[in-house]
Chain A
Amino acid sequence: AQSVTQPDIHITVSEGASLELRCNYSYGATPYLFWYVQSPGQGLQLLLKYFSGDTLVQGIKGFEAEFKRSQSSFNLRKPSVHWSDAAEYFCAAYGGSQGNLIFGKGTKLSVKP
């Protein structure tokens, strides 16, 4: 079955430190891949997306993600985290015969001063 896995439920990093959030997918073929961010009480906002081509994609707010086909991964990174990045992050995939978005369970990011 198609699935998206985010192994880390909660991550805490210090402000200014680098960040990597993990995402793995299980699909028959390479799906479209997305990262969303959800701030408390808000809806989801698209950070970045991968469809094809360059495996390193740039997004908003200084985020980037790297697609690795061999690892079925699409990890999100940021070189220097800001306190305002504290939120929940969702990886999602789109593809397959049904053509609907499937989300991971999310990773909650806390940022300590």
Chain B
Amino acid sequence: DARVTQTPRHKVTEMGQEVTMRCQPILGHNTVFWYRQTMMQGLELLAYFRNRAPLDDSGMPKDRFSAEMPDATLATLKIQPSEPRDSAVYFCASGTGQTHYEAFFGQGTRLTVV
């Protein structure tokens, strides 16, 4: 059963600490998205990659957020330093442009910054 795997599922950290969230896309998918979900803003696109290359990261605060794909099986989203306003659920999704496009979502990482 192919699925997007995100780790950790939950993370509580203190303000100022570095946070790294990981995503394993579905094997063979060449597009990876990072979304942030909050009550106030809903789902916001932070960044996305195609064939491991960043195509758009305009949704990310550049001074503290970074997203990478070290290889085709791993995407990371890093926050350094973290702030309480970063508390949210972060979703990774993967898809393919080879056939009709659709995004498969992971279960998310719930981040709480205290």
Is A28 an interface position by the 8 A CB rule?
no
B106 touches A43 (CB 8 A): yes
> Closest approach, in angstroms, between the C-beta of B50 and any C-beta of chain A?
8
A100 touches B101 (CB 8 A): no
For residue B107, which residues in chain A have a CB less than 8 angstroms away from its CB? 42-43
Is A83 an interface position by the 8 A CB rule?
no
Chain A contact residues: helix, strand, loop or mixed: strand
Q: Could you tell me which residues of chain A, from 72 to 113, have a CB within 8 Å of some CB in chain B?
A: 90, 92, 94, 98-106
For residue B33, which residues in chain A have a CB less than 8 angstroms away from its CB? 100-101
For residue A51, which residues in chain B have a CB less than 8 angstroms away from its CB? 100
Contact of A44 among B56, B91, B97 (CB under 8 A): B91
If A43-B108, A106-B43 touch, does A99 touch B97 (CB 8 Å cutoff)? yes
Q: Which residue of A lies closest to B100 (CB)?
A: A51
Q: Which residue of B lies closest to A36 (CB)?
A: B105
> Closest approach, in angstroms, between the C-beta of A100 and any C-beta of chain B?
5
Is B14 an interface position by the 8 A CB rule?
no
B97 touches A43 (CB 8 A): no
Give 18 new A-B contacts, CB below 8 A, not counting A36-B105, A44-B103, A98-B55.
A34-B102, A42-B107, A43-B91, A43-B106, A43-B108, A44-B91, A44-B93, A45-B105, A90-B43, A99-B55, A100-B33, A100-B45, A100-B56, A102-B45, A103-B35, A103-B42, A106-B42, A106-B43
The 3 closest A-B pairs by CB, nearest first: A43-B105, A44-B105, A105-B42
A98 touches B56 (CB 8 A): yes
For residue A44, which residues in chain B have a CB less than 8 angstroms away from its CB? 91, 93, 103, 105
Is B104 an interface position by the 8 A CB rule?
yes
For residue B35, which residues in chain A have a CB less than 8 angstroms away from its CB? 103
> Closest approach, in angstroms, between the C-beta of A52 and any C-beta of chain B?
9
Contact of B43 among A49, A98, A103 (CB under 8 A): A103
For residue A57, which residues in chain B have a CB less than 8 angstroms away from its CB? none
Sampled A-B contacts (25; CB under 8 Å)? A32-B100, A32-B101, A43-B105, A43-B106, A44-B91, A44-B93, A44-B103, A44-B105, A45-B105, A46-B102, A46-B103, A49-B102, A51-B100, A90-B43, A94-B101, A98-B55, A99-B50, A99-B55, A100-B45, A100-B55, A103-B42, A103-B43, A104-B42, A105-B42, A106-B42
